[in-house]
């Protein structure tokens, strides 16, 4: 079953209109509105009507338009619906994945950064470059130790 939500976007920041709470949720609640908390409509027409009559009216609507580059009604895919309805499953799976593949963070010296930039292939990400160089180093060390 198709569902719809009101999405607010500015650059990479995306928020959704949330269910009614205390205060003025159409203006204040958007800052914390994730898809899990979003107010959902069964029809696109219902979402557009709510957007026009409750969100984009008066001075409040002007403030919203000024703060966000895009305010639109979007369709929520079945995958997004499942993820919003099962956040605990997602958290557990992510924790399991992260425990097996930890994220390492370090700051290389400027001369190493300069060397890595020279060695980078076109369209190669930082992660791919570092993995390629570390694999090469691993093979070199294994060859010396045999």
**Per-residue model confidence as pLDDT tens digits over 75-122:** 988 888 888 888 899 999 999 999 998 888 888 899 999 999 999 999
**Per-residue model confidence as pLDDT tens digits over 20-59:** 654 454 454 565 677 887 888 999 999 888 888 877 766 6
**Angle between helix 78-85 and 87-100 (nearest 10):** 90
pLDDT at 25: 46
**Spatial distance between the Cα atoms of 22 and 130, rounded to a whole number of angstroms:** 49
pLDDT at 83: 87
114 φ/ψ sector (left φ>0, alpha ψ -120 to 50, else beta): alpha
pTM: predicted TM-score of the whole model, two decimal places: 0.56
**Per-residue model confidence as pLDDT tens digits over 1-10:** 789 988 888 8
pLDDT at 93: 94
pLDDT at 24: 54
Q: What is the mean pLDDT of residues 55-66?
A: 70
Residues comprising the chain, all counted? 146
């Amino acid at each position: 079953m198709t569902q719809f939500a009101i999405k607010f976007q500015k650059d990479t920041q995306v928020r959704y209109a949330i269910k009614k709470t205390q205060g003025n949720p159409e203006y204040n609640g958007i800052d914390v509105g994730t898809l899990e908390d979003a107010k959902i409509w069964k029809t696109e027409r219902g979402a557009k009507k709510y957007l026009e009559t409750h969100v984009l009216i008066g001075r409040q609507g002007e403030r919203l338009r000024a703060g966000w580059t895009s305010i639109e009604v979007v369709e929520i895919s079945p995958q997004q619906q499942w993820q919003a309805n099962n956040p605990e499953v997602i958290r557990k799976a992510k924790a399991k994945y992260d425990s097996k593949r930890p994220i390492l963070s370090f700051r290389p010296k400027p001369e190493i950064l300069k060397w890595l930039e020279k060695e980078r292939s076109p369209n190669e990400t930082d992660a791919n470059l570092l993995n390629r160089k570390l694999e090469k180093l691993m093979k070199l060390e294994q060859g010396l130790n045999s």
